[in-house]
Structure 1
């Protein structure tokens, strides 16, 4: 079962899928594009930009296609399903929303136009002592002589090492949720050190160290001291982005598992014909359909109600898609046996990508808490 798409939307999804198949359809192609554990290939990314794909969901005034959340989800689903090494896109499109809502015209041209043309952008919130508790942020920005001076440490910053800019959330006054401000920080800014963190998922996250990093007043995004409200305006969109990406990842895990159990023969017959596996695949197919409908129903709500927040639906989509992607990858590895563990077949790559998805962008526990609160609990 698929969402109710227009012919134009279906053609767009098919074009993205075909491109990914040609350019990154094999493990060998993907390894060549992003070697040594990399998750992002800038040459592939630029090709997508030249075809207009990275503008999905961006305004036409800044080089985008003018599409909405549905088109964006189609792009994320297809590239996730293809395991396309364009890890910089998710953070870039999440950052784009903040600039579109709160940035100056000059910032919009720089950031939104840059993303459509193939630039990678990043966002930094987490700190060693502040993860889910954003109110505990301590990285400080002080205004001095008409400039901003940034000092402190950030961590788990995805794609900072390949980004042109970092959307930094720092404390400018007060405590708790009050007094947070967003800044547009070039990654080559003096006083900023970016240091990679090795993870089982590859090279994608970083520690950031700010030591007397000087920014002009024009680096402020939105209003000084209003960063918390600005963050809240974008987190629901971020969760939809991650849900669509993990939907595609889960579909790839399901497709690879299904193909394997149809071909692998034991005891004189394909292993998928044994009831133990046949019933498990039936359950997984049903769950996958539910995830897809939930993601696109949320996207349709976003498109039909511009500016409206959907905390319940967005958190449900993120929770369901990421938890299912992780469960699907684990099931796939189990059904494929030793081959599921081998890099040749790719299921281990899917597992590494999906396990962390229940943590970033708000953990599954935080999503459940948000959903519960929307019911008055």
Structure 2
């Protein structure tokens, strides 16, 4: 089904497609840009996108952005993922930038949003060793002191902290009330004294980090929004976070599908293309149908968010995140199976697509958490 895009949206998609083909369209190019998959973010490529004005696609014009909406942001994410552009820092950057845009001071907005448009990376730190899906259980403490706060504790799984200019930290500033009360957001420059960033080796390369805070002083000016209201501020950003992950995985799933389709069309066994055998043909048909459903869901939810930007679409955004991440994992696994031994070979790229999708059902709220949220919206 053709997409109902405006001329401007179509031009954006076409420009991204051409850029990705030119800059990272071959395995050799991607290997050079990512140190053979070990570095999922390439700052030089990212800077080229900044020069084209794409990194500020959804940011206000007064800070150098394009002032566009969720639809355009999702198109950018989907197409860069489809083009396999190594810009893993962008997702966390947009999530953090939205928090500063909604709750930050004017100085914070100029510093962070202006930097994003110029190609700087931002990070956000929520998870702790004992607080993952249950974010309200975090214990990293920011103790009020004269002129600011002193932070002590450990954070973990912080994506892109090692390449970020700032980290949006969520820490506990009060023990009073429920576990969702007393949380505060802080802007932490990456080089702040008392902060140690330590990389975690993963199958996806260098992307996530442990953060250790030891008597780390943050001035009052580092507070983002209202002290003690960090949980409510986090909830206000759920639409964005889930749609970012949905769009990224939709693009990745499309790429895995197209690569699989190209292979089964040309690979011959028993005297004919393997895609002509019913066992594979029907699986291709099922994946194509599911991809179309996922695309329609993402497009529809993104348009709804643009129509009502202040509304939290808890059910719909969770559905989009759940559908696209689970589908991406399924499609890449199917691609591995249909490519046979070649699916396992780094030369063909399917194994790297699989590595980038298996974690998508975990980060940003696991699939189990998304299902729980969806169920609650039905009164269950």
TM-score, length-scaled by structure 2? 0.98
Offset from partner CA, 1:154-200 (integer Å, 9 cap, x none): 00000000100000000000251110000000111010000000011
Which contiguous aligned blocks of 4+ residues in structure 1 show a shift greater than 6 angstroms? none
Alignment of 1:350-361 (within 5 A): 350-361=353-364
Pairing 1:231–2:240 present: no
Alignment of 1:48-63 (within 5 A): 48-63=49-64
- Among residues 317, 333, 347, which one is paired with 2:350 in the alignment? 347
- In structure 2, the partner of 1:100 is 101
Alignment of 1:1-377 (within 5 A): 1-36=1-36, 37-174=38-175, 176-377=179-380
CA deviation after TM superposition for structure 1 residue 101, in Å: 0.7
In 2, distance between residues paired with 1:153 and 1:3? 45
Q: Which runs of 5+ in 1 are unaligned?
A: none
CA contact (8 A) 1:2 1:293 kept: no
In 2, distance between residues paired with 1:104 and 1:30? 39
CA deviation after TM superposition for structure 1 residue 331, in Å: 0.3
CA contact (8 A) 1:2 1:292 kept: no
CA deviation after TM superposition for structure 1 residue 27, in Å: 1.2
Offset from partner CA, 1:46-70 (integer Å, 9 cap, x none): 0000000111111111111111000
In 2, distance between residues paired with 1:253 and 1:109? 39
Offset from partner CA, 1:288-312 (integer Å, 9 cap, x none): 0000000010000011112111000
Secondary structure at 1:76's aligned position in 2? helix
CA deviation after TM superposition for structure 1 residue 3, in Å: 3.1
Secondary structure at 1:202's aligned position in 2? coil
Name the Cα RMSD after superposition.
Answer: 0.7
Q: Which runs of 5+ in 2 are unaligned?
A: none
CA deviation after TM superposition for structure 1 residue 365, in Å: 0.3
Secondary structure at 1:55's aligned position in 2? coil
In 2, distance between residues paired with 1:286 and 1:34? 32
In 1, distance between residues paired with 2:169 and 2:114? 19
CA contact (8 A) 1:46 1:118 kept: yes
CA contact (8 A) 2:238 2:312 kept: no
TM-score, length-scaled by structure 1? 0.99
